[in-house]
């Protein structure tokens, strides 16, 4: 077969394949259609990535409880309170208001929260209300600066930082600072507690309505407790001083051992 015949022969075969429906050339190498193709490798399974753990928000109350229990004395308790970063009041306050008076006193007074003067000086009850409080206890021969435990008082607050514009503390603020107050009371271990105002009564007794609660002795943590109106209330309503004087005489009777008082 010459080259011309070979060309025409190949051309005729191509035209025949086109007539049969062939549309494209596959390749020069023949393919065995009866050969079982090798199994294609399975794609690698994508490694499952464990979901990132959901981090729970810190619980300020539980953190406060742990911090309070670490304190074995009053200086350590003050340090723990100062290091507590979960109460937003701290960011707007000038000073931590921890306590004042004689820690060995038989009577521990719990107020509500610092005001402007307390925030400036870093001591509780130093403004007009505090000056009235001092005069009230002086009337039964007691003072925060007295050296003898028999005639001294020790003063603290539910909150150690001043709320903005002297607003009432929120339930969340009270809840996170209560463990520190409870530890404070445990470390001082007074014979008597005096709660001034609704906030301190609500915090430790779970009750409000200080004008109904005042003068009625109760107990918390095994300690006799006397609720009294806050001195700021007496500044607004001087006519209530009669009841406050009766409460002070009741406390004096208890201090003297007169159980009927």
The more confident residue out of 30 and 75 is 75
Q: Which value, to the nearest 10 degrees, does the dihedral of the CA atoms of residues 16, 18, 24, 30 take?
A: -20
**Under a CB-based contact definition with an 8 Å cutoff, are residues 191 and 224 in contact?**
yes
pLDDT grade for 172, boundaries at 50, 70 and 90: very high
Number of Cβ within 10 Å of residue 130's Cβ equals 22
Q: How high is the pLDDT of residue 115?
A: 97
Strand 153-157 and strand 100-101: the pairing is: antiparallel
pTM of the model: 0.78
What's the gap between Cα 105 and its chain centre?
30
**Structure confidence by residue, pLDDT tens digits, 99-157:** 999 999 999 999 999 999 999 999 999 999 999 999 999 999 999 999 999 999 999 99
Q: Poorest-confidence range of 10-24, 79-93, 231-245?
A: 10-24
Alpha helix stretches (DSSP H) within 30-148? 60-70, 74-83, 89-92, 116-121, 128-138
For the chain, give the mean pLDDT. 90
**Under a CB-based contact definition with an 8 Å cutoff, are residues 70 and 80 in contact?**
yes
Q: How high is the pLDDT of residue 3?
A: 52
pLDDT grade for 159, boundaries at 50, 70 and 90: very high
Best CA proximity match to 97, nearest among 83, 115, 84: 115
**Structure confidence by residue, pLDDT tens digits, 188-221:** 999 999 999 999 999 999 999 999 999 999 999 9
Q: Averaged over 235-244, what is the pLDDT? A: 96
254 contact partners, CB below 8 Å, separation of at least 6: 192, 217, 224, 226, 261
Q: Which value, to the nearest 10 degrees, does the dihedral of the CA atoms of residues 166, 200, 171, 84 take?
A: 80
**Under a CB-based contact definition with an 8 Å cutoff, are residues 155 and 101 in contact?**
yes
Q: How high is the pLDDT of residue 52?
A: 72
Best CA proximity match to 203, nearest among 195, 211, 212: 195
**Structure confidence by residue, pLDDT tens digits, 21-72:** 666 666 666 666 566 666 666 666 566 667 777 677 899 999 999 999 999 9
Query: Residue 104, SS3?
Result: coil
CA angle 254, 257, 261 (to 5 degrees): 45
Q: How high is the pLDDT of residue 261?
A: 45
């Amino acid at each position: 077969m010459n080259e011309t015949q070979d060309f025409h022969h190949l051309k005729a075969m191509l035209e025949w394949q086109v007539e049969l429906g062939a549309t494209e050339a596959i390749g020069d190498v023949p393919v065995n259609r009866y050969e079982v193709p090798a199994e294609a490798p399975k794609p690698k399974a994508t490694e499952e990535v464990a979901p990132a753990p959901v981090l729970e928000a810190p619980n300020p109350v539980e953190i406060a409880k742990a911090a309070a229990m670490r304190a074995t004395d009053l200086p350590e308790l003050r340090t723990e309170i100062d290091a507590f970063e979960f109460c937003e009041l701290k960011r707007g306050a000038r000073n931590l208001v921890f306590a004042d008076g004689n820690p060995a006193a038989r009577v521990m007074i719990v107020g509500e929260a610092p005001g402007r003067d307390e925030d400036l000086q870093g001591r509780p009850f130093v403004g007009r209300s505090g000056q009235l409080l001092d005069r009230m206890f002086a009337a039964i021969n007691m003072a925060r600066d007295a050296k003898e435990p028999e005639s001294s008082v020790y003063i603290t607050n539910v909150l150690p930082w001043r709320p903005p514009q002297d607003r009432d503390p929120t339930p969340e603020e009270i809840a996170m600072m209560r463990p520190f107050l409870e530890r404070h009371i445990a470390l001082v271990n007074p014979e008597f507690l005096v709660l001034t105002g609704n906030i301190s009564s609500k915090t430790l007794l779970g009750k409000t309505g200080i004008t109904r609660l005042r003068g009625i002795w109760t107990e918390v943590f095994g300690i006799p407790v006397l609720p009294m109106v806050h001195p700021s209330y007496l500044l607004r309503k001087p006519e209530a001083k009669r009841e406050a004087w009766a409460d002070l005489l009741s406390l004096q009777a208890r201090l003297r051992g007169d159980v009927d008082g």
